[in-house]
Amino acid sequence: MSIRDNLIAVERRIVGACVRAGRKRDEVTLVAVSKTKPAEMIDEAIAAGVTDVGENRVQEARDKQPLVRARARWHLIGHLQSNKAKDAVRLFDVIQSVDSAALAEKIARAASSAGKVQDVLLEVNIGNEPQKSGALPGDVAALAKDVSALDALRLRGLMAIPPAGEPEETRRWFRELRAMRDTLGLAELSMGMTDDFEVAIEEGATIVRVGRAIFGERG
């Protein structure tokens, strides 16, 4: 199947989940995750209707962006090393993986120097998994307060990758993240990937990050 056909199938799944949840389709932003995929495939996706593109690594985005002819909003969804904060601010419209006050301060300094207000999300290690990055749930409120105090950052919401499991098993984690987001009074909730984005939408996701269902298996 072509990328356009894949997008049509993903779109049907998004609409179906919105209908089940009693939500409007325009409440959900689809981020097409293009990790390891070439610029030509990103152009093909944008031509088929993709407006937002996600990359896991700063270096990969830096190499690919000059080769992408079409315009899109770029999201950094992978872990950000603080020494790459300046490049991340230059390359990405949204940084979804802020997980510490120190990293937030580095991003804020880079954004201020660039004359930019950087949209960010806090990455939450919702399952307290030692192998994953992200702020621990108990630290998120304090981190949100610290980030909100930085003039060069605009805190938009929360992001998480829940513990691996069947889609229905991830529902509890999505609910927990939504409750956290609601308590903080934030707008965005980035959760759900190829295997579980429908459940995420049913539980309130405003951003879903889909790669394999759009671009095929990673090379």
* Mean predicted confidence (pLDDT) in 113-140: 95
Side-chain-facing half-sphere of 19: CA atoms under 13 Å: 6
Please state whether 43 falls in left (phi above 0), alpha (psi between -120 and 50) or beta: alpha
* Percent of all residues in the chain with a pLDDT value above 90, rounded to a whole number: 93
CATH of the domain at 148: 3.20.20.10
**Residue-number span of the structural domain to which 48 is assigned:** 3-215
Q: pLDDT at residue 92 above 60?
A: yes
Q: The whole model's pTM is what?
A: 0.96
Among candidates 202, 210, 189, 153, which has minimal Cα distance to 35?
210
The count of structural domains within the chain is 1
pLDDT per position as a tens digit, 161-217: 999 888 788 999 999 999 999 999 999 999 999 999 999 999 999 999 999 999 987
pLDDT per position as a tens digit, 144-175: 999 999 999 999 999 999 998 887 889 999 99
